[in-house]
Amino acid sequence: MEKSWKLLKNLNPEITKNLAQELNVSNIIAELLVKRNITNYLEAKLFFRPRIEDLLDPFLMKGMSSAVNKIIETIESNKKIMIYGDYDVDGTTSVALLYLYLTKLNADLIYYIPDRYLEGYGLSNQGINKAKEEKVSLIIVVDCGIKANDQIDLANSYNIESIICDHHYPGINLPKSLSILNPKQSDCKYPYKELCGCGIGFKLIQAIEQKKGKGLDSIIEFLDLVTIAICADVVPMTGENRVLASLGLKLINKEIRPGLKNFIKNKNNQINVSDLIFKIAPRINAAGRMKHGKHAVELLISVNEKYISTKSRTIELLNSERKLLDGKITKEALEQIENLLETNSYSTVVFRPDWHKGVIGIVASRLIEYYYRPTIVLTKSGENYTGSVRSVKGFDVYETLSKCSAHLIQYGGHKYAAGLTLNPSKYSDFKTAFEKEVMRTILPEQRIKSISYDLETTFNYLTNSVCRIVEQMKPFGPLNMPPLFYIKNCIDSGQTKLVGADNNHLKLEVKDETGTTFSGIGFEMGKYISKIKMKTPFSIIAQVRSNEFMGRSKFQLNIKDISFK
């Protein structure tokens, strides 16, 4: 796949120079910070040394006071509360967080996770009817509900009150809930807009503690759940999210939650964001994708070792099954694109009735690796088609869906990921409309996968001191990605070789035009070995990272791309 290399936005050199002097750091570090909107000492202090005291006042969020008062009143009246959450990582961690916290307050509680296949995404009529059956007085809806107008109307008809804690974009008409906690509401003055669902759940329990005259000490134990949700939901690693994630990672490394221990094998190393994204999150998600999301909640709230062992084995098997399925469906989807002669389209829309609903989102992401364009994968669900949507860098797929909404029963989501439901009779018209809208609005540069690097440098400037400060910029995530460096005129020092079980990775030992040598690893880059060994000069885009081996730490390059131009 063709890739373009782009330097991140140009800077005001004066700001960089002043920050370097103020912090007494190199220009490289100052430039990296300015590109992350850190321009003075106080912002740098918050960035590098996040504290729990830096969390915002939860009562700044619209609806918080009424939500807190209602929850306290419901508990004191011994009335039943249902916690209702989505079946993905953000939803199940949100449910676990509120369930564990409210249990400590002796609330009369049940929780409910919808069945992905029988009920679909979001607040369902079945869930509301279950609440009525269980004589629930209050439903707290987490990580969904912002567009559940009909379902909230049904709950109101049963005299069941509701509080919605959601972070998805609201519609024009909001549900008639007692309280809606969502910073994305146009009239919500909460300063930070990018919390995930579990983050909003945490702000709710922070507010309850504050109302009771208590500090944050009693709820620090839940920061691990919030951190997992932040990483899995790919929300910006900025502001309050960064504070929550930084503190949560410290908690996880101090004492990981019992239900998650069996999923982390590198017990001698620090658990990082990558571990949460690639080891923890897929397994939590696998429960809802392959069977039922309640299994993830049960694992997260349990402290019984025997039960945890059995449940984690079950989830591990579900995750293995998920891997096999998404590989099979990806292969079938690629064949469909080729057979339909749609390899040069502006969008991808594929459908097959027997594709597993639980993995079509993963498949949509996989297809973008082959055909870099907005992608929808659909399957049959009851009488309708349901689909998962994924987008490419810079392209707002949610807005595109809104332009095609006349062909849809419903849709919802974010700029880069969404879901939809449509009637089979509308499939062809929708596919045509989506392709036309993407063709009309997508920019030429959005059709080419790009790598945005932070700055051009040479190896001699990547000193141990610089690399150590880069390490301190963790946790990395959207809007604070690992810094990428462009180094040109690299040449093999003679030690580069192939590694890995299939000899498909490069272990590089290269020097640049300054004569400085650096080692690194290029995953899936074994195909370049011949040119490199022939001493052909090349350029690289790379991260620097600390590599621990036999108790010793050394900085090395993590190569993201190679060019021989």
Per-residue model confidence as pLDDT tens digits over 3-13: 889 998 877 88
Contacts of 48 (CB under 8 A, 6+ apart): 472, 473
| Residue 45 burial by Cβ neighbours in a 10 Å radius (0-12, 13-18, 19+) | middle
Look at residue 499 in the predicted model and tell me its pLDDT. Answer: 92
pLDDT beyond 60 at 267: no
Predicted structure pTM score: 0.91
Length of the chain: 565
d(CA 79, CA 137): 6
Per-residue model confidence as pLDDT tens digits over 215-240: 899 899 999 999 999 999 989 999 99
- The class of domain 54-309 in CATH terms is alpha beta
pLDDT beyond 90 at 512: yes
For residues 69-75, give the mean pLDDT: 98
Domains 54-309 and 342-447 share a fold: no
| Residue 479 burial by Cβ neighbours in a 10 Å radius (0-12, 13-18, 19+) | middle
pLDDT beyond 60 at 438: yes
Look at residue 550 in the predicted model and tell me its pLDDT. Answer: 59
Task: Say if CB 144 and CB 123 are below 8 A apart.
Answer: yes
How many other C-beta atoms are found inside a 10 Å radius of the C-beta of residue 447?
A: 15
Per-residue model confidence as pLDDT tens digits over 448-476: 999 999 999 999 999 999 999 999 999 99
The CB-side HSE value for 226 (13 A sphere, CA atoms) comes to 28
CATH for 451-563 is 2.40.50.460
Mean pLDDT of the chain: 94
pLDDT beyond 70 at 137: yes
Look at residue 380 in the predicted model and tell me its pLDDT. Answer: 94
Contacts of 189 (CB under 8 A, 6+ apart): 60, 62
State percent of the chain over pLDDT 70: 98
Closest CA to 402 of 416, 388, 412, 417: 412
pLDDT beyond 80 at 480: yes
Per-residue model confidence as pLDDT tens digits over 241-256: 999 999 999 999 998 9
Residue 324 has which token pair? 């096999």
Look at residue 323 in the predicted model and tell me its pLDDT. Answer: 93
Strands 417-422 and 384-390, sheet pairing:
antiparallel
pLDDT beyond 70 at 333: yes
Look at residue 270 in the predicted model and tell me its pLDDT. Answer: 84
Q: How far apart are the first and last CA of the chain?
A: 16
Look at residue 407 in the predicted model and tell me its pLDDT. Answer: 97
- The class of domain 342-447 in CATH terms is alpha beta
How many other C-beta atoms are found inside a 10 Å radius of the C-beta of residue 544?
A: 22
| Residue 402 burial by Cβ neighbours in a 10 Å radius (0-12, 13-18, 19+) | middle
Contacts of 472 (CB under 8 A, 6+ apart): 48
Look at residue 266 in the predicted model and tell me its pLDDT. Answer: 63
pLDDT beyond 80 at 2: no
- Return the DSSP state at 357: G
Helix (H) or strand (E) holding 130: helix 125-133
Residue 8 has which token pair? 């991140």
Closest CA to 358 of 111, 191, 544, 120: 120
- Return the DSSP state at 138: E
DSSP string for 213-260: T--SGGGGGGHHHHHHHHHHTT---SHHHHHHHHHHHHHHHHS--GGG
pLDDT beyond 90 at 327: yes
For residues 328-333, give the mean pLDDT: 96
Domain ranges of the chain: 54-309, 342-447, 451-563
pLDDT beyond 90 at 355: yes
pLDDT beyond 60 at 111: yes
Residue 259 has which token pair? 């239900």
Residue 295 has which token pair? 């299994």
Tell me how far the alpha carbon of residue 300 is from its chain's centroid.
19
For residue 547, name the pLDDT band (cuts at 50, 70, 90): confident
State percent of the chain over pLDDT 90: 86
Tell me how far the alpha carbon of residue 530 is from its chain's centroid.
37
Contacts of 183 (CB under 8 A, 6+ apart): 61, 167, 190, 192, 193, 194, 195, 200
Residue with tokens 């809104």: 402
For residues 357-362, give the mean pLDDT: 92
**What residues does 110 pair with on adjacent strands?**
82
Contacts of 552 (CB under 8 A, 6+ apart): none
Look at residue 549 in the predicted model and tell me its pLDDT. Answer: 63
| 545 φ/ψ angles, rounded to the nearest 5 degrees | -150, 160
Look at residue 262 in the predicted model and tell me its pLDDT. Answer: 87
Helix (H) or strand (E) holding 5: strand 3-7
For residue 212, name the pLDDT band (cuts at 50, 70, 90): very high
Per-residue model confidence as pLDDT tens digits over 407-431: 999 898 788 889 999 999 999 999 9
| b/e map 92-116, b = 16+ CB within 10 Å | bbbbbbbbbbbeeeebbbebbbbbb
d(CA 401, CA 478): 23
